[in-house]
Amino acid sequence: MNSFYMPVRVLEGKDIVISSTNLLKKFGKIALLVTGKHSAKANGSYNDVITALDNVDIEHILYDDIEENPSVETIMKARDFALRQNVDFVIGIGGGSPLDAAKAISLMIYHKDEDKDYLYKTGSDSSHVPLVLIPTTCGSGSEATAVSVLTLHEKQTKKSISHLIFAELALIDGKYLMTLPHKTLCSTAIDAFTHMVESYINTKASDYSNMCVEKGLLIWSRSLDVLRGSRELTIDDCDNLMRASMMGGMSIAQCGTTIPHGLSYSLTYKKHIAHGMAVGYFTAGYLAKANQIDAKHILNLAGFKDVADYQSFFTEIYKACDIPDIDDDVLYGAVEDVLKTPVKLEITPYEVSRQDLIDIAFYSCYGA
């Protein structure tokens, strides 16, 4: 059976946040703005949201303590803060961390009497207060997915909550990328690329999800030379990268992520490597084990000749970002983490032994 479920209303365009003012009125009278400390203010998205809310007399309460890779503890602090302020709905502004946090916060505001264990309680009610998401990076596609990935300090890893939380509205404006540091632009763009790769090389892939992947990779490829550093970023690039990120999100909303994402969590938690770079580290190895007709097809769409060409591109960016070498014990630990996560293996469309996982994990070190 094939299915395609993408219930988020997505609006994209220049100054779309301000022009969508009237859409916000139906969500409530007090909005909780969920973001990090700096970037939303630097790129203008925060001011746009404030302007839009002020235009329709919606009160706004700021919660800007969302860290990179937000923890369960942060979600609960934000939930308790929101309840004291009597908020009606949540607006997430930023990259994947604030958007994922906003989903979890909207869930826990609705379930105000539950403790943090509810986030991972399977089979429970996933109702949430209304949620609006505004991405300001071009990687997570979180505005189009139902997934919220949080840090579990007691387990020293990251894990998706047990609930599927789709936003009611996503507002996408490429201009917010213009102030993004090049390293962050590259890391988040690589994340979007890996979402499309893992959705295509996936047992759940269908013509519907592949439609998003194939078009998304073509759009993504238009800015490949910007990521390589061979020309300056333009507003058209910003629009293309945002659109490709959203299509990557639409893809994983149907299929889920596979082995590279599963392996990446140890690198992010233990070595503090940005999520996109951590996932990209394992993507060549994942593609090298896949059906090579499929691998070449999607690599060509993205602007790469083959796996080696992608690996060369990634290695160049990885070194430019001054990321430290990865210790062997961290890579072996990442392998063990995936072995404990059967779903990542179940949706991989080829046999994966422990040795195969080791080969994928160490591919960036040693190649084929």
CATH code for the domain in which residue 153 is found:
3.40.50.1970
Cα→Cα distances 283→113, 297, 313, 325, Å? 41, 15, 12, 17
Query: Do 102 and 151 have their domain in common?
Result: yes
Query: Do 145 and 199 have their domain in common?
Result: no
Domain end residue (candidates: 143, 159, 175)? 175
Query: Do 165 and 290 have their domain in common?
Result: no
Domain end residue (candidates: 142, 175, 208)? 175
Query: Do 348 and 303 have their domain in common?
Result: yes
Query: Do 264 and 360 have their domain in common?
Result: yes
Domain end residue (candidates: 144, 175, 206)? 175
Question: Is 2 contained in some domain?
Answer: no
| Contact in structure between 46 and 78 (CB atoms under 8 Å) | no
Question: Is 3 contained in some domain?
Answer: no
Pure H helices in the chain: 16-19, 21-24, 39-42, 45-55, 72-85, 96-110, 182-200, 207-221, 224-228, 235-255, 259-271, 275-289, 292-302, 307-320, 328-339, 342-346, 354-366
Question: Is 324 contained in some domain?
Answer: yes
Question: Is 4 contained in some domain?
Answer: no
CA proximity to 292, closest of 303, 308, 312, 278: 308
**Radius of gyration over every alpha carbon of the chain, rounded to an integer in angstroms:** 19
Which residue matches tokens 């519907």? Answer: 208
Question: Is 275 contained in some domain?
Answer: yes
CATH code for the domain in which residue 360 is found:
1.20.1090.10
Domain that holds residue 276: 181-366
Sort strands 149-152 and 157-160 into parallel, antiparallel or unpaired: antiparallel
Question: Is 1 contained in some domain?
Answer: no
Q: Which residues contact 173 (CB under 8 A, 6 or more apart)?
A: 12, 13, 14, 15, 16, 17, 45, 48, 134, 242
Query: Do 252 and 123 have their domain in common?
Result: no
Is residue 134 helix, strand or coil?
strand
| Contact in structure between 241 and 177 (CB atoms under 8 Å) | yes
pTM here is 0.96
Query: Do 185 and 130 have their domain in common?
Result: no
Query: Do 263 and 318 have their domain in common?
Result: yes
Compute the half-sphere exposure of residue 260: CA atoms within 13 Å on the CB side of its CA: 31
Rounded distance, CA 302 to CA 127, Å?
Answer: 37
Query: Do 158 and 214 have their domain in common?
Result: no
Residue by residue, DSSP assigns 294-343 as HHHHHHHHHT-SSHHHHHHHHHHHHHHTTPPPPPHHHHHHHHHHHHT-HH
Which residue(s) pair with 30 in the sheet? 59
Structure tokens of 165? 């939380």
Question: Is 66 contained in some domain?
Answer: yes
Query: Do 205 and 286 have their domain in common?
Result: yes
Query: Do 125 and 233 have their domain in common?
Result: no
Query: Do 207 and 171 have their domain in common?
Result: no
Q: Per residue of the chain (368 residues), give pLDDT as tens.
A: 788 999 999 999 999 999 999 999 999 999 999 999 999 999 999 999 999 999 999 999 999 999 999 999 999 999 999 999 999 999 999 999 999 999 999 999 999 999 999 999 999 999 999 999 999 999 999 999 999 999 999 888 899 999 999 999 999 999 999 999 999 999 999 999 999 999 999 999 999 999 999 999 999 999 999 999 999 999 999 999 999 999 999 999 999 999 999 999 999 999 999 999 999 999 999 999 999 999 999 999 999 999 999 999 999 999 888 888 899 999 999 999 999 988 999 999 999 999 999 999 999 876 54
Number of structural domains in the chain? 2
